[in-house]
Structure 1
Amino acid sequence: MTPGFVAALMFGVLFAALVIRIPVAFALALACVLPLVLDPQLNLTVFMSAMFTSFNSFLLLAVPFFLLAANLMNTGGITDRLFNWTRSMVGHLPGSLAQINVVLSVLFAGVSGSSTADAASQAKLFINAQVKEGYDMSFSISITAVSAILAVIIPPSILMIVWGGVFNTSINQLYMAGVLPGLLLGGVQMAIVYAYAKIRHYPTYQRATFTEFLRTTVIAVPAMVTPGIIVGGKLLGWFTATESGCMAVLYAMFLAMVFYREVGWKELKSVLFDTGVFSAISLFCLGTASVFGWLLAYYKIPQSLIGFIAAYDFGPTTMGFIVAGVFLLVGCFLDAIPAIIIVGTVLQPMVAHSGMDPVHFGIVSITALAFGLITPPYGLCLLISCAAVDVKVVKVLKDVSIMLFPMLLVLASMILFPSVFLFLPRLVSAQ
């Protein structure tokens, strides 16, 4: 079978399955079955072999550990302490509760590494509370979903760990590459809230006193040590990415069960179960995507594409916009992890041919995929936020589109000015 025929067959089955609303992980599995059956040199045992090979990774153990740390934070009252601290910092700005929503997402991103975990926790905490204070429902859902995507851009990020494992790119440098884009996007979101608040006259809290700020800071300090353990330990070479996830879990467990005493053995059992279910879903999707990617490599489909692209001789900037456009489109239909394995594998040879820096390729791709978490029909963060208050997605698309436009300008600046966004990654070792 020719590479073109196999590519048409696999992607045709994949998109047909997605159209009839088969879950992504199972759609990927179905797309792999036909080539394995039709090719006399392959058989279905290859499917299981390739999938289990993808699971046999010490690095991927970081995924359930980061998710467990995030769940312990939410259940153990750590998020509540960060909420109070954030309120003392930005509660006096127009649209106070929405501003707190954004800043808390920035802080939570430093621990969880998962946008879906952030969206689930923030939706419960903020949406109805904002509506009760006079915010529009559409705005409340939109800002909650949009701010949640910061968790996969600001380190630590599960997507960065997967990217580093798949493409052998320095996770340290990817972590540092995510700092500036994450903070810029957070600042843009706060500016959006400010504009909405001024136009729609959203409420503003009284400025906290310096004493209140100090008190909430002291209470929040133990919780803020967690990002330092995860990111600092990795950058200093004390831990691997997986080991830093383990340390985050142990520290979050200490805070939740011993220091704040809000989690007992009964609650811990529930947290472990929820984390296990969510991790299984994510890793199963990664496994089927790995089989899909293995078949693409087996039939040399990426090499066929690079021959076509090489004729146009794209430079790094043009290639950056192509990468961003492809991942923005793919992110509307696929989960980020399988998109990295499937689409990233196809694009990587073309990116290398263009001369684009591999760390720049990684952070542009991850940021574009993060935007896919708020763009339908997939838009998982948007779906979670809407489901939390039983509102149809179509009712919030206008506000999401308004918020997304200035964020796309940040993505464009990342492509146009790579030296600015690669300054911090070049300061750390490529480990």
Structure 2
Amino acid sequence: MTPGFVAAILFGLLFLLIILRVPVAFALLLSCIPIFFLEPRLTPVLALQEMFRSYNSFVLLAVPFFLLAANLMNAAGITDRLIRLSRAMVGHLPGGIGHVNIVVSMFFAGISGSSTADAAGIGSLLIPQMKKEGFSASFSVAVTACSSVMGVIIPPSILMVVWGGLMSVSIGGLFIAGIIPGILIGLAQMVAVYVYARRHGMGLHRRATLAELGGAFLGALLAILTPVIIVGGIVGGFFTPTEASVVAALYALALGMIVYRTTGPRRIADVFYDTGRFAAIALFCIGTASAFGWTLAYFKIPAALISVVQALDLGVVEMGLAVAIAFLIIGCFIDAIPAIIILGTVLFPVTQEVGMHPIHFAMIGIISLAFGLVTPPYGLCLLISCAIAKIPVKTALKDVALILLPMLAILALVVFIPALSLWLPRLMMPQFVN
């Protein structure tokens, strides 16, 4: 069987099963089965072996522990302290609570690494507040959903852990590379909120005093130290990304039970149960996506793509645009982690062929996949935010598009200006990032 024929079967069946509303994790495995029966040298047992092999990864232990840290922070009431600090910083701007929503998402992204935890934790608190202050329900949902995607861009990021583990890219370098693009995306979203507030005549709020700002900062200081501990520990060589995730979880547990005393044993038990449930879903997706990716590699589909790229003679920018478009499309239909395993591992050797830096490729892919969290039909963060606001998804799409446009501009800058994602890693980790 030729690479083209196998690719047509795999992706054709995958999208057919998704259209039929088969869960993506199962669709990935089911689409491989016909190939294993058609090829006499293969057996379906190999798919199961590949799934189990993918789970035998020390790096992947970081996924459940970062999820646990995010859930513990939510349970400890850290979000309330971050909101208070954000309100003191930007609440006086036109559309104040909208800016607070974005800034608190940036803070929370530096703690959790999970966009869905961001959307659920912050959305339940701020969507009702935004509606009270005059924002429409659809715009409140759009701001909450779009700002939550920074959870996978600003370090620490679960997607970066998975990406680095799969493609042997420095996870510390990826964490640092996400800082500048993440901040730029947050600023772009704040511009959109500012324009909306001006058009709808939303006035200015009282500016917080220095004493209020200082009190809010001290109240949230221990929480916002989390990314400093995680990223600083990795960059400084004190612990690995997996160990950093355990440190983050233990730190969050200590804040909730000892420092703030806002969580008890019963609440902790619920957090552990929820974390285990969501981690199992994510890890099962990794296993089935690994079997899918192994099938692609076995039939040399990446090598076939490299031949096509060599014939087209693409440069770094052209390849970057192609990567962004590919991830934007696939992110609309499947979760980011399977997309990384399927598409990322296929495109990785192709981008190396044209001379694209692995971290630059990773940032284009991760930012593009972040859009999939708010674009239908998948759009998990959008679905969560709409459920909180009790509105149908189609009602929010117009306002989501208004927030996504400036975000697309930042993605284009990352594609055209590699230094946006490479300058800081080269400055802070020159020994690992050439």
TM-score normalised over the length of structure 1:
0.98
Aligned residue pairs, count: 431
Checking the alignment, whether the CA contact within 8 Å between 1:133 and 1:203 is kept in structure 2 is: no
Secondary structure (helix, strand or coil) at the match of 2:49 reads helix
- Counterpart position of 1:242: 242
Structure 1: runs of 5+ lacking an equivalent = none
Q: Residues 48 and 203 from structure 1, CA distance in 2 versus in 1: closer, same or farther, beyond 3 angstroms?
A: farther
1:321-374 superposed Cα distances (whole Å, 9 cap, x missing partner): 111111111111111111111111221121111111111011111111111111
Question: C-alpha displacement at 1:318, in angstroms?
Answer: 0.6
Separation in structure 1 between the aligned mates of residue 309 and residue 215 of structure 2, nearest angstrom = 58
Amino acid of the structure 2 residue aligned with 1:383:
L
- Counterpart position of 1:119: 119
1:382-411 superposed Cα distances (whole Å, 9 cap, x missing partner): 111112222111111111111111111111
Question: C-alpha displacement at 1:2, in angstroms?
Answer: 2.1
Secondary structure (helix, strand or coil) at the match of 2:22 reads coil
- Counterpart position of 1:179: 179
Are 1:40 and 2:40 counterparts? yes
- Counterpart position of 1:430: 432
Are 1:86 and 2:119 counterparts? no
Separation in structure 2 between the aligned mates of residue 173 and residue 226 of structure 1, nearest angstrom = 18
- Counterpart position of 1:193: 193
- Counterpart position of 1:349: 349
Amino acid of the structure 1 residue aligned with 2:186:
G
Separation in structure 1 between the aligned mates of residue 273 and residue 152 of structure 2, nearest angstrom = 23
Separation in structure 2 between the aligned mates of residue 166 and residue 326 of structure 1, nearest angstrom = 19
Amino acid of the structure 2 residue aligned with 1:239:
F
- Counterpart position of 1:99: 99
- Counterpart position of 1:401: 401
Q: Percent identity among equivalent residues?
A: 54
Equivalent runs, 1:6-155 vs 2, <5 Å: 6-155=6-155
Amino acid of the structure 2 residue aligned with 1:54:
S
Separation in structure 1 between the aligned mates of residue 204 and residue 271 of structure 2, nearest angstrom = 35
Checking the alignment, whether the CA contact within 8 Å between 1:306 and 1:349 is kept in structure 2 is: yes
Separation in structure 2 between the aligned mates of residue 205 and residue 60 of structure 1, nearest angstrom = 45
RMSD: 1.1
Checking the alignment, whether the CA contact within 8 Å between 2:111 and 2:224 is kept in structure 1 is: no
- Counterpart position of 2:275: 275
Secondary structure (helix, strand or coil) at the match of 2:178 reads helix
Amino acid of the structure 2 residue aligned with 1:77:
G
Amino acid of the structure 1 residue aligned with 2:139:
F
Instruction: Please say which of residues 194-203 and 173-182 is displaced more in the overlay.
Output: 194-203
Separation in structure 1 between the aligned mates of residue 72 and residue 201 of structure 2, nearest angstrom = 36
Checking the alignment, whether the CA contact within 8 Å between 1:135 and 1:202 is kept in structure 2 is: no
Secondary structure (helix, strand or coil) at the match of 1:92 reads coil
Checking the alignment, whether the CA contact within 8 Å between 2:111 and 2:223 is kept in structure 1 is: no
Separation in structure 1 between the aligned mates of residue 94 and residue 398 of structure 2, nearest angstrom = 21
Separation in structure 2 between the aligned mates of residue 201 and residue 125 of structure 1, nearest angstrom = 24
- Counterpart position of 2:158: 158
Separation in structure 2 between the aligned mates of residue 405 and residue 134 of structure 1, nearest angstrom = 23
Question: C-alpha displacement at 1:203, in angstroms?
Answer: 5.3
Separation in structure 2 between the aligned mates of residue 171 and residue 118 of structure 1, nearest angstrom = 22
Instruction: Please say which of residues 89-98 and 418-427 is displaced more in the overlay.
Output: 418-427
Secondary structure (helix, strand or coil) at the match of 1:329 reads helix
Amino acid of the structure 2 residue aligned with 1:4:
G
TM-score normalised over the length of structure 2:
0.97
